[in-house]
Amino acid sequence: MTFLELARSRYSVRNYLPKTVEEEKLNYILECGRVAPSAANYQPWMINVVRDPEVKKKLEETYNRDWLKQAPVILVFIGDHRKGWKRGDGKDHTDIDIAIIADHVTLAAAEQGLGTCWICNFNAVKCAELMNLPDHLEPIAYLSLGYPADSMDATSRHLKRRSLEEIIKFDHV
């Protein structure tokens, strides 16, 4: 599979089979995340792999969706704002680094026949409380993870992308 084929094959899965994600596949996709680049190589990240039904149930209260309950795994990407690289003007790059590691994971999962969905619309305050996180550790994104129960819906948002003509400029000043 070419990279373009892989990138096109990934879509937001909101329908999961009640099937366990194999340990080897989980480790593989986490390793694909681990090698992601980060600003100044500071790697300001942690991933909480939530599978235990009791823990998962509590986490689901921070984003109450039936499809999230179906997913066997929720990955919680936690940014460490103390570790994240700050540019001279103060810009904190932790969010960018988290997006990169999470994107590696989504694509690795797709390569393994697994589905993911990015989730940022969760109650972050409640999540931080639940995980007892100090102020500098921020839960930035969740990824649901599991075997898709559907195939990509051709009419979905997934196929709606702006054209290259619209988003690319060459030598623009």
Ligand X SMILES: Cc1cc2nc3c(=O)[nH]c(=O)nc-3n(C[C@H](O)[C@H](O)[C@H](O)COP(=O)(O)O)c2cc1C
- Enumerate binding residues for ligand X (CB under 6 A): 11-12, 117-121, 156-158
**Residue with smaller CB distance to ligand X, 39 or 68:** 68
Shortest distance, position 28 Cβ to ligand X, whole Å: 21
**Residue with smaller CB distance to ligand X, 85 or 118:** 118
Query: CA-to-CA distance for 21 and 98, rounded, in angstroms?
Result: 23
Select from 82, 66, 53, 51 the least CA-distant residue to 146: 51
Shortest distance, position 61 Cβ to ligand X, whole Å: 15
**Residue with smaller CB distance to ligand X, 100 or 131:** 100
**Residue with smaller CB distance to ligand X, 38 or 144:** 144
Select from 94, 111, 90, 105 the least CA-distant residue to 142: 105
Select from 167, 172, 158 the least CA-distant residue to 116: 158
Shortest distance, position 31 Cβ to ligand X, whole Å: 22
Select from 63, 47, 49 the least CA-distant residue to 123: 63
Shortest distance, position 60 Cβ to ligand X, whole Å: 13
